[in-house]
Amino acid sequence: MRAITNKIPSKILLKRIFPAFSLSSHSLSTSIETKSQKLDRIANELLSLNPVELHDYSILFGMRMGLKNSALASLSAGASPSGSAPPTAEAEPKEKTLFDVKLEKFDAGAKIKIIKEVRSFTDLGLKEAKDMVEKAPGFLKKGVTKEEGEAIVEKLKAIGATVVLE
């Protein structure tokens, strides 16, 4: 075999072994450089993902690789590769940080005061605030901190509204 390869020029040998690669040696080296640049770009993009995106990517990658759903479930649940069980949700309950202020009902006599108060903590106009109050039960403000939500609830309860913090 060695005698045959010495007699055949390397370009012809490459063409016969790899017919799809009828490239010159220069273009072959540039395609290798392009592949390493592509891998560097992919690695940089993966490193720039936030934890939620990384989690979603790992599930998508596993599905594309043909992993079974049970293997994906154990990976997404946070099981270690050694097979130990993930910590239970009851062991570490997550504390809620953002709350929604919900108007359940109100006294008809206090409707105007409630509309004024709703306008004070939202950026709504008079008509929008009135419509929001009249559509009770409904959310007045979403995604507020606990302290801000409790302040709003106290103000609205003082003027005759039934409000909850969810």
CATH label of the domain that carries residue 146? 3.30.1390.10
pLDDT value at 148 more than 80? yes
Q: pLDDT > 90: what percent of the chain?
A: 2
Residue 22 located in a structural domain? yes
pLDDT value at 124 more than 80? yes
pLDDT of residue 42: 85
**Rounded Cα–Cα distance for residues 120 and 68 (Å):** 54
Residue 145 located in a structural domain? yes
Average pLDDT of the segment spanning 14-41: 62
Q: Which residue do the tokens 């409790």 mark?
A: 150
Cβ–Cβ under 8 Å, residues 126 and 115: yes
Cβ partners under 8 Å of residue 118, min gap 6 = 124, 129, 132, 133, 140
Residue 59 located in a structural domain? no
pLDDT of residue 68: 65
pLDDT of residue 18: 54
**Minimum mean pLDDT range among 39-48, 72-81, 101-110:** 72-81
pLDDT of residue 80: 47
pLDDT value at 1 more than 50? no
For residue 136, what are the domain limits?
A: 99-165
Tokens describing residue 88: 């239970």
Spell out the alpha helix ranges (H) of the chain. Answer: 2-7, 10-17, 25-47, 51-65, 69-76, 111-121, 126-134, 146-158
Residue 124 located in a structural domain? yes
- Total domain count, the chain: 2
Residue 52 located in a structural domain? no
Residue 30 located in a structural domain? yes
**Rounded Cα–Cα distance for residues 48 and 90 (Å):** 32
Residue 72 located in a structural domain? no
Residue 117 located in a structural domain? yes
**Rounded Cα–Cα distance for residues 79 and 87 (Å):** 8
Tokens describing residue 102: 């919900």
